Structure 1
């Protein structure tokens, strides 16, 4: 069974996929039916990944702002009762048909430190910051709902 790849598709102002987004990816045939998931989405180009999740950046920012407003009320510092977490390698995290191998251990303090470094020096901003931010946000979310 081919590896399932997760892709982020970026569209330009005309709604066309940018060149880096129009790449081939593998979607496993015979994926199980999941309620609410449409696996028969029309493709603009048969070489595109399908199905995909489209997330408008302005709405993503709106949701993030809303959640930050909610958590910011009354708190200046968030305390997270965890440090280490399991980290699934990028080439395995979206392959839900195979058990992850080569798990690693991440540290929230490291992820937060890298994010703080980006704040102190904007030249150090890297796209991997989204991964570090997701690790921190996951811990906040897990603690908030427990």
Structure 2
């Protein structure tokens, strides 16, 4: 596989990996809830999340503009989306931000 090739992931395996990792986070926190110590985080706008694959040099030349995200706001967006039963694909991006915050807090 070369840089820029597509990668195929199966939903059953994604669900399995998520279950194992979230169980691990729960075990190390020894609680039914998780406190994220830093509410603010660096965020990459969606349009800058992927790197152009026209040439190998593009990987190092592409410099995304960072913005500031907020865990509390992101979680509120997710809860509103679920409560309103208005699921949107962008919810996966919000959820990735939450998982990143949990991972960062879990690793120290």
State the TM-score bracket (shorter-chain normalisation): 0.7 to 0.9
Q: Take 2:105 and 2:87, find their aligned partners in 1: how far apart are those partners? A: 27
**2:40 is the counterpart of 1:76:** no
RMSD: 1.8
Larger radius of gyration: 1
Q: How many residues matched?
A: 98
Q: Take 1:65 and 1:77, find their aligned partners in 2: how far apart are those partners? A: 16
Unmatched 5+ stretches in structure 1? 1-37, 41-49
TM-score normalised by structure 2 residue count: 0.79
Unmatched 5+ stretches in structure 2? 52-58
Q: Where in structure 1 do 4 or more consecutive aligned residues deviate above 6 Å?
A: none
Does the aligned pair in 1 maintain the 2:25–2:106 contact within 8 Å? Answer: no
Higher relative contact order (CA 8 A, sep 6+): 2
Structure 1, residues 101-124: CA drift from partner, whole Å, max 9, x if none? 3x22111111100111133222x2
> What aligned pairs does 1:115-126 form with structure 2 within 5 A after superposition?
115-122=78-85, 124-126=86-88
**2:42 is the counterpart of 1:86:** yes
